Structure 1
Amino acid sequence: MSSEKIIPKMEVIGADGVHVGTVDAVVDGRIKLAKYDSGEGPHKGHNHFIDLGLVAEVEGQKVRLSAIAAVAVTFEEEKSGKSV
């Protein structure tokens, strides 16, 4: 997957079409998700990252992942690379 097609403000969705987050940027082979649209509880309000390897395709203004949303969020990482 070419990361040049992925731009800020695109919606990230799971393979099932369910919203996962909003692209803030692509950094070091990972999609950085926007803070305002990130996590619940102690994970709310800071950036999470999704590896570009999970991207199945870019459809218009949406980035579709290869995993359903419920599974995709389990692959989210902190800036450090640690799992959320």
Structure 2
Amino acid sequence: MSAHASQIREHMDVVGSDGGHVGTVDKLEGDQIKLTKRDDPDGSGQHHHYVPVSAVDAVNDNQVRLNMPADRARGMATAMGGSGTKS
């Protein structure tokens, strides 16, 4: 697991390398950051989505910055679907 994992806390903003909003941390689940339903990429607000901890570039203040642009991270999160289930 990434050295950044221990710094990630609930309710932190997750942004891409371009500063674009990706989501808000709900909690860590293994090597994945579970994002809140509010930022569900399909717009329904009914599903959690996940970003791998390995995609984290830095954690500062109340922000998790990823090593990819926000659009790419949102697309990856949608495709991955965490552990294969969305609840």
Same fold (TM over 0.5): yes
Distance change in 2, residues 1:81/1:56 (3 Å): farther
| TM-score, L = length of structure 1 | 0.86
Say if 2:18 is the partner of 1:45.
Answer: no
Residue 85 of structure 2 corresponds to residue 78 of structure 1: no
| Counterpart code for 1:15 | S
Give structure 1 stretches of 5+ with no counterpart: none
The secondary structure found in structure 1 opposite 2:74 is helix
Which residue of 33, 41, 57 corresponds with 2:35? 33
| Residues 39 and 45 in structure 1, CA contact (< 8 A), matched pair in contact too | no
Task: Give 1:38 deviation, angstroms.
Answer: 1.6
2:16 alignment counterpart: 14
Identity level (%): 36
The answer on whether the counterparts of 1:34 and 1:47 sit within 8 Å (CA) in structure 2 is yes
Greater than 4 Å deviation, 4+ residue runs? none
Report the aligned-residue RMSD.
Answer: 1.6
Which residue of structure 2 lines up, in the alignment, with residue 4 of structure 1? 6
TM-score, normalised by the number of residues in structure 2: 0.83
Q: 1:2: Cα distance to partner?
A: 2.7
SS class of match (1:74): helix
Alpha-carbon distance between aligned partners in 2 of 1:56 and 1:38, rounded to the nearest angstrom: 22
